[in-house]
Amino acid sequence: MTGSVVYSVGLAPVFTLATDLMVGSAPPERAGAAAGIAETSSELGGALGIAVLGSLITAVYRGQVADAVPAGAPAHAAAAARDTLGGAVAAAGQIPARLGTALLDAAREAFTVGVQVSAAISAVAAVGIAVLAVAVLLGVRPAAEPEGPPDHPCPDGPCAGKVGAVQVVKATRPTREQARDSRHDDSNASATTTSNSG
């Protein structure tokens, strides 16, 4: 019970932070896909961990118990003990008490060694992955935010090339010199027109 509580307390923040990191780094329109990938990776990682570590425990257990079967144990009891811990428990109840106790103690010791080896490898792998994650995340730079709105609305944006897209042109007020030149040009044009009429 205590081991399960410690396991849950240590694992819950990791799941929460990892999911938040994956979903938060995705664009808003792809948040659903990111959440799906996070859930899939969690389920796949759990299944692979159970399969790999379970196989490792079984291999270590069988290697340990093969040399620890007490002499004089029946062949069928020794074979059952070498198969699984449950087989050893069942076989221990079918043979004399002294041999059954010795067989059960050997099987339990072998299973404990297998769990310890699996836990040590898991701890080393977790530390290595944590160091790798820190090294990778330190090289990530936040995306640069635009400093201000563009001068022209969506010149190359999503509305470019669409019907009804209007580009707003900023109107400028004529200067005093430009207004004077314009009046002068109008006066010259009027004088030319009068002389041509005469």
Q: What is the pTM of this model?
A: 0.60
In a domain, 113, yes or no: yes
Answer left, alpha or beta for residue 96, where phi above 0 means left and psi between -120 and 50 means alpha. Answer: beta
Number of folded domains that form the chain: 1
In a domain, 50, yes or no: yes
Q: What is the mean pLDDT of residues 115-120?
A: 93
Confidence of residue 183 (pLDDT cuts 50, 70, 90): low
In a domain, 25, yes or no: yes
Alpha-carbon dihedral 38, 41, 42, 44, rounded to 10 degrees: 160
- What's the mean pLDDT when you consider all of the chain? 77
Amino acid at 19: T
Query: What pLDDT score does 121 carry?
Result: 93
Range of the domain at 60: 11-138
Q: What is the mean pLDDT of residues 136-151?
A: 63
CA separation for the pair 46, 49 (Å, rounded): 5
Query: What pLDDT score does 169 carry?
Result: 47
